[in-house]
Amino acid sequence: MRVNHGFHATMTARPGRGDELIELLLAAPSMANEDCVVFLVGRSAGRPDTVFVTEGWSSQEAHTRFFATPAAQELVAALQPLLAGESAYVDELPVGGKASF
């Protein structure tokens, strides 16, 4: 499936809560959504409370539909107390690469 909508997000966890933020993101319901083609979570090597998320979706509509679901709203609500401020988003369309974990 081709990515037609995507973004890269930078999130900063409250001090010492980066691991909790990562755990929640890696358990995100979007990981099981067939319209979510790319979902990568990373962290800064020098600032462990800075977390990066790259998402690629089949369409903007699919992304919007997904984030209107109760499961997605629960995730957003669970993330909020872990975050120190607003997340930053940049338009990105993942086009390929390699990942092995």
Enumerate the domain spans of the chain: 5-87
Q: What is the pLDDT along the chain (101 residues), one digit of tens a residue?
A: 889 999 999 999 999 999 999 999 999 988 889 999 999 999 999 999 999 999 999 999 999 999 999 999 999 999 999 999 999 999 999 998 887 78
Where b means 16+ CB within 10 Å and e means fewer, 60-69 reads eebbeebeee
Architecture of the domain spanning 5-87: 2-Layer Sandwich (3.30)
pTM, whole model, 2 decimals?
Answer: 0.91
Q: How far apart are CA 22 and CA 79, in angstroms?
A: 10
Query: What pLDDT was estimated at residue 81?
Result: 97
Tokens of 72: 């997605």
Q: Which long-range contacts (CB under 8 A, 24 or more apart) does 77-80 make?
A: 78/24, 79/11, 79/21, 79/24, 79/25
